[in-house]
Amino acid sequence: MSETEIIFGANIDPHARLDITMTGSDAGMAIEEGFITTTLPYGLNVKSGRKFLPIGRVNSVHPHALIYADRPNALVNILGPDVFIGEGVFVDRPFFVGDSMQAFTA
């Protein structure tokens, strides 16, 4: 086994949730993602902490969960071989179009 992930999640109160993803490998333990999600009026969600950046479809997926061995060449050529993880505040507003859910994220 090259890497192990442990995922913790808990509701802090009725309007906030904490999610932490820890990874362990030969190099040691690290926090891959850790963020608090808060629900605000008008359907706004605020996530604060460390998270995979929503750049395209592939970057927000853990590398081991991809259905192919390597990241797509177009993404690697434009953004480089690394997965982009950002620290900060993310605001999104989900909305529904027919049977699908879309989201505006800033």
Give the DSSP letter string of the chain.
---EEEEEEEEEETTEEEEEEEEEETTEEEEEEEEEEEE-GGG-EEEEEEEE--STTTTTS-GGGSSSSS--HHHHHHH-SSPPEEEEEEEEEEEEETTEEEEEE-
Please give the structure tokens belonging to residue 68: 């192919």
Please give the structure tokens belonging to residue 89: 């505040």
Can you give the pLDDT at residue 1?
A: 66
Can you give the pTM of this predicted structure? 0.70
Confidence category of residue 18, pLDDT binned at 50, 70, 90: very high
The pLDDT of 30-39, averaged and rounded, is 89
